[in-house]
Chain A
Amino acid sequence: MNNSKTAAALKTMLAALICILAGLVIGFIVLLVLAYTGIAAKGEPFTMLDVIKTAYNDGFKQLLMGGFYLKPRAVRNEIALAAPLIMTGLSVGFAFKTGLFNIGAAGQYTVGALGALIFALIFKLPWYVCLLGAALFGAVWGAIPGFFKAYLNINEVITAIMFNWIGLYAVNTLTYMGGNSPMYNLKTTKTWPIAAKSEWSVIPDLGTTYFKKPATIAIFLAVAIALVLYVVLNKTTFGYELKACGLSKTSAKYAGINEKRNIILSMTISGALAGFGAGLYYLSGVAEWQPLVSTVLPSMGFDGISVALLASSNPIGIILSALFISHISTGGGMMNANLFPPEIADVISGVIIYLCAFLMLFRNALGRIFTRKNKGGTK
């Protein structure tokens, strides 16, 4: 039906695939260099083939296989990681679609984590209530930059960055409180595991090989929300308005769309999505919050930016790109640590992300290449 739309979607996907491929190639080259220095340091004779073999067997293979390198445990980790990543990706992507840059997903995620912990460890409420609590906390944290933008015309990026840090230290303080916080476990210096305090606050799993804790049903919830967002953005009047604001503020204004309201709503929803993501992560029992050592914002928030960029903010694409990012970072963690630091996975995803920043350029260039090819065909 929509020929031009499908063509554009195909182009975008192709561009994303090219970015991924280029990222992997560069990653492999880095691995080769590291493998070379590592082997050469041993002082034994070796051939180039050895270097390639090492780079592949001790690093690249893990990267490609991701969690499947260590079935089924690592697969479960990969899935558990993908769920919140989808959410932060959606958080950033949703804001993008409406013309806002939500760099505050990290902060909203952090505050959302606090929400989840309070509702689970203190009030001991069932998991779905805790999830909503997490979303609520995130929503508030997202709404604040929205208000600043709408009513004081302060760029959301600046406010969001400040609120990222305010959020982080507020959460650290509240979960620790000099060791007196009811959420804080003195022995482990982390917050209490949810399961230990309130069994039913933990998100249930399916109990199958691959969908066992920490791979809870969180992933399905995230996918469901992505689908809902897709529908909201593409089929509803609300999505129509939000996108119109994102594409042309002046035309949206002309059409009588309340831009201020939309900015706030959009940031609130973004924040809720990020907060919900934190809920999925902490209520699945993947990890606990560490108030004393959490001095940087959780990378989940910033990875959301990458996820959204790679998917051109398309909710369905975000599911795929989040799975991909979680795949290679899980794989990265299983590389031979003597030769390759696990950060290599970050390097590769970094490269991919940088390439994605040029995605728009790529897309246009691809268009041009296609038309040129067609031209050749007709001659």
Chain B
Amino acid sequence: MNDYVIEMLNITKTFPGIKANDNITLQLRRGEIHALLGENGAGKSTLMSVLFGLYQPDEGVIKKDGKEVKINNPNDANALHIGMVHQHFKLVEVFSVLDNIILGAEDTQAGFLKKKDARKKVMELSEKYGLKVDPDALIEDISVGMQQRVEILKMLYRDNDILILDEPTAVLTPQEIDELMEIMREFAREGKSILFITHKLNEIMAVADRCTVLRKGKYMGTVDIKDTTKEDLSRMMVGRDVSFTVEKKEKLAKEVVLEVRHVTVPSKLHKNNAVKDVSFEVRAGEIVCLAGIEGNGQTEFVQALTGLEKMSAGRIQLCGKDISKFSIRDRALAGISHIPEDRHKHGLVLDYTLEDNMVLQRYFEPAFQHAGFINKKAVRAYTDRLIEEYDIRSGQGPVTIARSMSGGNQQKAIVGREIDRGTPLLIAVQPTRGLDVGAIEYIHKQLVRVRDAGCAVLLVSLELDEVMNVSDRILIMYEGELVGEFDPKYATVQELGLYMAGARRQPQFGGKEDEVTDDE
């Protein structure tokens, strides 16, 4: 018997202007966790979409259990028990969790949905694997972490045993990542096979059995994890050594740029406030990180700061000016750049070209328009520069439709656009989400560069490595409140974890004195 459940042999897939997959071979064993590694735009998602029937390969064959199969669409894939969680989730925002899970695989009786049975099955699965979800919540109201669990449940509900996870951990908290990896191991023990895309080498080292590496659409090789190291992997993928630490000088914090006083933001999910009476400041020349477990009010706080959401109380001061009542545009003009958490919902107009997206925050500036007419030449030149600087890869350069770009390159485009605005305050929410190690290194350098140039940076990150490496000051948010402030030089990841989980609270944030004595 063949020990490969899935074989993708000599797959080639071309898009306008680019060979996304160039003669790639990938063999997946039964019960293994197989990582797929490669730079942004290397062709990982494309290869997986081919396996899931979303794209037809130009050349190459796919075999399931040694037999050649044609996968023309996701239904075919499903019939072969192949399931996929996409890099950008494919959920119906206004449907409930349960409806999303059963959508397309509904059991009916005389034309009526058998929702009770479905609910039972979902809850059983959720219980069994520890995938906590609220079946009746609407997708638009739940956190990305929960959306992810919904996507995984969707596959389990369909009894899939070949699971494709396209960057599942990019949106998860460290705790959630640990849980997910445990779940993946459990799947593997049950004989399910997993294809796992991630840019985080630690995760590959921790959970994968083998790893296939792609570079610019080409197959670089497949290695056994037990015979390799992180450094080997990154060299294989980028072609050079990558440094995992960020070099930076002592901070030189100057005047206060952002001052937040008693900000309170109502929640859309529950009756409580999502953000409760938050006060702090960020100075020019420092990177302040707002850390915490996802869903503890960071999102709402940032949205209140940028004007996307209304706050119910409090005051925001930017460079000495009260901007609490400003519109979104006026805040941006007053000096806020914003790398948003959700690149598809906010960061990009997906059906605009890359160049149109590059001026999303500046198209009205004199440099890019004259008497209301957009200066296409200037826009093109500007885009070309950012493409060059931030290594934004795509099929057709400035005229590529943003939707067709790889997730990481979409992110690079947004990050480049926002950093380049050069405003006094940069709000960066998960700026390196979905970026490869080389790109992360570059973006971190840029963050430090703007900070050294006197910009105040408010970083919101779930990535503890990033939090510890990049920031000058760490604020921890728990259930909408600040519970602790740390200097990364003197804090440990474990300590931060305790505060994030709500087990501790520093006295100046209303904690009891005796609780913190052992911290010193």
Contacts and interface: CB of A to CB of B under 8 A. Distances in A.
A307 B307 CA distance: 40
B332 interface: yes
A250 interface: yes
A237 B363 contact: yes
B347 A378 contact: no
Given A236-B373, A237-B364, A240-B374, A253 B328 contact: yes
A4 B396 contact: yes
A372 B400 CA distance: 22
A371 interface: yes
B349 interface: yes
B76 interface: no
Given A4-B16, A237-B374, A247-B351, A256 B361 contact: yes
Interface string A246-257: 011011111111
Contact of B347 (A237, A254, A256, A375): A254
B56 interface: yes
Contacts of A187: none
A238 interface: yes
B372 A238 contact: yes
A250 B374 contact: no
B412 interface: no
A250 B396 CA distance: 26
Contacts of A258: 327, 329
Interface residues of A, number: 31
B273 to A, nearest CB: 22
Interface in B346-382: 346-352, 356, 360-361, 363-364, 369, 372-374, 376
A256 B349 contact: no
Interface residues of B, number: 38
B150 to A, nearest CB: 20
B268 to A, nearest CB: 14
Contacts of A243: 352
Interface in B161-204: none
A264 B59 CA distance: 51
Of A248, A253, A255, A368, chain B has the most CB atoms within 10 Å of the CB of A255
A240 B307 CA distance: 21
Given A236-B372, A375-B56, A255 B399 contact: no
Contacts of A244: 349, 352, 360
B349 to A, nearest CB: 5
Interface in A234-281: 235-238, 240, 243-244, 247-248, 250-258
Contact of A5 (B306, B330, B363, B399): B399
A338 interface: no
Contact of A237 (B332, B369, B399): B369
Nearest to A2: B399
B58 A256 contact: no
A208 interface: no
B345 interface: yes
A236 B374 contact: yes
Interface string B111-137: 000000000000000000000000000
A235 B377 CA distance: 12
Interface string A326-366: 00000000000000000000000000000000000000000
Interface string B312-350: 000000000000000111111000001010000111111
Nearest to B338: A254
A370 to B, nearest CB: 11
Given A236-B372, A237-B364, A378-B58, A251 B349 contact: yes
Interface in B399-417: 399-401
Given A240-B374, A254-B338, A378 B348 contact: no
Nearest to B361: A255
9 contacts: A4-B399, A237-B363, A240-B356, A247-B351, A248-B350, A251-B349, A253-B308, A368-B56, A378-B59
Given A236-B369, A251-B347, A375-B56, 5 more contacts: A240-B374, A247-B352, A255-B360, A256-B329, A378-B59
Nearest 7 pairs of A and B residues by beta carbon: A256-B329, A254-B346, A256-B328, A255-B360, A251-B349, A250-B345, A247-B351
